[in-house]
Amino acid sequence: MRIIKLNNRIKKRFIFLLIIFACFSASIFLISYSLKDQIAYFVEPTDLKSMDGIENKYLRVGGLVKTNSLKFLDGNWVFEVVDQNQNSVNVVFSKTLPNLVEENKGIIVEGKFIDNIFVAEIVLAKHDENYMPQSAIDKLKEEGKWRGN
Amino acid sequence: MFAITPNILSSFMNSLSRYVILLSLILISVSIFLIIFLENDYYQGISFKIMFIHVPTAWLSLAIFLVMGISSIVALIFKSPTAFTVARSLSPIGLIMSIIVLVTGSVWGNLTWGAYWVWDARLTSMLILAFIYLGHILLLYSFEHFQKADFAASVLAIIGLVNLPIVKFSVDWWTTLHQESSVFRIGGPSMTNDYLITLLVSFFGIFMLTIFWFSNIFYIIVEKRKIERSKLLND
């Protein structure tokens, strides 16, 4: 086997590139680490408990629409956004909901807290990464393995 | 290994390109057939079928940048003209791929989320990737001598490599509106096998098309340089 001798200039160029790359990625890491609260698109209802001064602050809250909570009252949509820790937020929304908003499905609401009720200005449906035809679900239901609604 | 000149690579790819385009056309027509007759998703309905263009082009726009970055590193270290030319001919394909991702993604987003565009981490980092591709192309055409252009553009490609893990893992590191990965995830793919097979067929079809396209751009660059060189010699 022939031993490849790295000549000096190639070695120098390699080290130079390595240093540039390392410096640049370190700076990107530091920027994104210090801005991680701004980069996060939404907070969960649990996170709201540890935040102070949330009244009248423009926020995005994400979670699932609580089962049996989605109602249409006096021209407003009223529902609860719940997360894995069962903490929930009461939401009021006065415009048309996106098609995919259903109970027990993902949702992101954008707006402000007014008197402990979240008044949403924008509502977005958040779907998950699972894709399945209805026939596969029927099959799972027959076998008793389906865990959705 | 570094004895591969642009000429040798170009003629090698040219000898294979007719088979590659044939395979690509077959795979793409099979995937169109599969997509049309596939059952709709239980939740998203027919709109989820945009995935079969969106996901392969997204994978390819990341993979093309990875190849571009690695060949730029090789090119800068070993001063290899082949590696420079590979990086140069990949960036227009990557730009088109990332534009397709952004457009199909915003159509899909409007149908499911209810918004064409939001500034979450995945969408923003993908937009930055498209801008880096654009910057790469602009740098390539803003110098009189192609060696200088190649040097500047490969530095940009190497710096742009930092963005790749951010695009890929943005949905895991931060909360986003965009859903998480369905195929490359812990615990296996989160879709049924018929969807997965369609996705892979569609991916390989577009992948073969990319290779064909790449070999054509590479060929054109090599031939152009030959003509320029003979002009210089004749003057």
pLDDT digit string, tens, across residues B1-33: 557 888 899 999 999 999 999 999 999 999 999
pLDDT single digits (tens) B83-137: 999 999 999 999 999 999 999 999 999 999 999 999 999 999 999 999 999 999 9
User: Which structural domain, as residue segments, surrounds residue B117?
Assistant: 15-37+48-229
Q: Is residue B7 part of a domain?
A: no
Residue with the bigger pLDDT between A93 and A9: it is: A93
Mean pLDDT of all residues belonging to chain B: 93
Q: Is residue B43 part of a domain?
A: no
> A125 pLDDT band (50/70/90 cuts)?
very high
- The pTM of the full predicted model, rounded to 2 decimals, is 0.91
**At the topology level of CATH, where does A40-126 sit?**
OB fold (Dihydrolipoamide Acetyltransferase, E2P) (2.40.50)
Q: Is residue B20 part of a domain?
A: yes
Distance CA B205, CA B194 (A): 17
B74, B110, B128, B174, best to mutate vs chain A, most A CBs in 10 Å: B174
* B18 neighbors B26 (Cβ within 8 angstroms): no
Take residue B21 and report the two structure tokens written for it: 């385009």
Report A:80-119 residues touching B (Cβ under 8 A). Answer: 98-100, 102, 105, 108
DSSP A17-70: HHHHHHHHHHHHHHHHHHTHHHHS--B-HHHHHH----BT--EEEEEEEPTT--
* A123 neighbors A109 (Cβ within 8 angstroms): yes
* A118 neighbors A111 (Cβ within 8 angstroms): yes
Distance CA B109, CA A3 (A): 55
* B9 neighbors B71 (Cβ within 8 angstroms): no
Q: Can you give the residue ranges of every domain in chain A?
A: 8-37, 40-126
Q: Which of A50, A51, A55, A101 is nearest to A79 (CA)?
A: A101
Q: Give the count of domains, chain B.
A: 1
CB contact under 8 A, A129 and B42: no
A15, A23, A39, A83, best to mutate vs chain B, most B CBs in 10 Å: A39
Q: What is the Cα gyration radius of chain A? A: 24
* B76 neighbors B153 (Cβ within 8 angstroms): no
pLDDT at residue B235 above 80?
Answer: no
Q: Which residue of chain A has the CA closest to B183? A: A129
pLDDT single digits (tens) B215-230: 999 999 999 999 989 9
Q: Which of B87, B123, B81, B90 is nearest to B105 (CA)?
A: B123
| DSSP tag of B50 | G
Q: Which of B222, B201, B217 is nearest to B37 (CA)?
A: B201
Distance from CA of B118 to the nearest CA of A (A): 9
Cβ atoms < 10 Å from Cβ of A142: 9
pLDDT single digits (tens) A76-91: 999 999 998 888 899 9
Distance CA B117, CA B102 (A): 9
pLDDT score at B205: 97
Q: Is residue B105 part of a domain?
A: yes
